[in-house]
Amino acid sequence: MMSDDGIRSTYRSYNEWFSEQDNRRLAKKSAQAEALFKRTGITFNVYGQSDAEERLIPFDLVPRIVSNSEWSKLARGIDQRVRAINAFLHDIYNRQEILRAGVLPVKLIAQNDAFLPQMMDFSPPGGVYTHIVGTDIVRTGEDEFYVLEDNARTPSGVSYMLENRETMLQMFPELFSKIRVQNVGNYPKNLRRSLEASAPASCNGRPTVAILTPGIYNSAYYEHSFLADQMGVELVEGHDLRIVDGRVAMRTTQGYRTIDVLYRRVDDDYLDPLTFNPNSTLGVPGIMDVYRAGNITIANAPGTGVADDKAVYSYIPDIIEFYTGEKAILKNVETYRCSEPDALKYTLSNLSELVVKEVHGSGGYGMLVGPAASKRELADFADKLKAQPENYIAQPTLSLSTVPIFTKKGLAPRHVDLRPFALVSPDGVDITPGGLTRVALKAGSLVVNSSQGGGTKDTWVLED
């Protein structure tokens, strides 16, 4: 919000409004927002804890504001990135030209748990693998943005983006008449349209779309039900579905109805017990046969996890250049692949200065933030690295940008990242202006994940 020269231009109008506010009124509004979230049921479940009941994700009422020109650069970079990732997935599961060219080592794919041989020699309807992508971006300087990771499997958080905006509109309508902010509320409509455009050739008439959820005990169940409601589609579980005449059909009060597009929030391993985990009760027996026959679209496609693997992430600039002939618009964070002896040696020697992540990890689990770790934690993690170096990558600790949050004492800086959401269909790429800003609520903390105590805030992209 502030620079050495005073208030940044993107925040000037907001600062004028904020300086006229009574802190007691804002504190009351903050409490009202929490009560609203509680009443609406906007919750998140944290796995692996004894008190793992549903809890609220803290919401901060000071928006994160991005100029239109900054957003334009980000959007171009995201568009380039998701197109390249989609091309990469198509290639990996078909001709594997990128491996033949030696751009990626074969073992990176062959030994990758997220790579599904069942997807070989098959193209999804419309050639789209990643229908919904969440790209985690951090800012380190005035015009410096880095991509932390790509979420190409089942990215979550879009419901919080939408609810954060709705809450701000309810609490501070005068702000939106004073400041022109780009709309995010049409995301559900755009998501449905994008999914319908990806329907298989066997679809007759308007495609039937449904969301497959693991059920009420899943950490993101609120989001599943929210999106189904906002899109006007059915929310289904595995036991609601069966194969009827070579198509996937859902149980309704009028009998079974064919589904053309299934937006699944179930992991690959649980999607089809006849193909993957035989003990799964969350998926649909036989759905992969229907899929490979071209009679249903699964979004995102099975096997997309190979693209958001953190070791593959380190090759994304090469992947972009290979498929587009262009240099990456958005930078990657320098990444040390611990499977490589020299990288492992460097990581172990500099563990206290690095961030180390599991290759297949997510949600902030299984990671080490070196500068914040104790000697005991560093020693324990070094043992893990030595035992399974191929499971980890390491990155330098970035000097993340900060934005203000509202505290009892007024504004205070906290580190943030940004997860914009891109929708991909045969018609093109649609990127919602803004996204989910996640904020580390502890002073000095770099961990923004909700599962690790982070919060969220509304993200404003200004109109010209």
Spatial separation of the C-alpha atoms in residues 138 and 403, rounded to whole Å: 12
pLDDT of residue 53 exceeding 60, the answer is no
CA-CA-CA-CA dihedral for 423, 424, 427, 433, to nearest 10: 30
pLDDT tens-digit map of 3-46: 888 999 999 999 999 999 999 999 999 999 888 888 877 765 55
pLDDT tens-digit map of 364-393: 567 898 888 999 999 999 999 999 999 999
Look over the chain and give the mean of its residue pLDDT values, rounded to a whole number. Answer: 92
* Topology of domain 334-397, CATH: Dna Ligase; domain 1 (3.30.1490)
Domain ranges in the chain are 2-333+398-461, 334-397
Cβ burial of 310 (10 Å; 0-12, 13-18, 19+) is buried
Across residues 318-346, what is the average pLDDT? 95
Spatial separation of the C-alpha atoms in residues 296 and 288, rounded to whole Å: 9
For residues 439 and 455, the answer to whether their CB atoms sit within 8 Å is yes
Which of 255, 253, 263, 289 is CA-nearest to residue 274?
A: 289
pLDDT at position 360, please?
75
pLDDT at position 55, please?
66
pLDDT at position 50, please?
47
Percent residues over pLDDT 70 in the chain: 95
Across residues 129-142, what is the average pLDDT? 94
Which is higher by pLDDT, 111 or 231?
A: 231
pLDDT at position 38, please?
81
Residue matched to tokens 């003990």: 279
Structure confidence at residue 362 as a pLDDT band (50, 70, 90): low
Structure confidence at residue 319 as a pLDDT band (50, 70, 90): very high
Q: Please give the C-alpha separations between residue 309 and each of 115, 140, 357, 408, in angstroms, as whole numbers.
A: 10, 23, 11, 40
pLDDT at position 416, please?
94
Candidate from 159-168, 271-280, 334-343, 393-402 with smallest mean pLDDT: 393-402
pLDDT of residue 111 exceeding 70, the answer is yes
Question: How many CB atoms within 10 Å of residue 19?
Answer: 8
Q: How does strand 421-425 pair with strand 428-431?
A: antiparallel
pLDDT at position 40, please?
77
Which of 228, 245, 246, 68 is CA-nearest to residue 237?
A: 228
Residue matched to tokens 């693991």: 214
Across residues 248-257, what is the average pLDDT? 95
Percent residues over pLDDT 90 in the chain: 79
Across residues 107-134, what is the average pLDDT? 95
Q: What is the pTM of this model?
A: 0.92
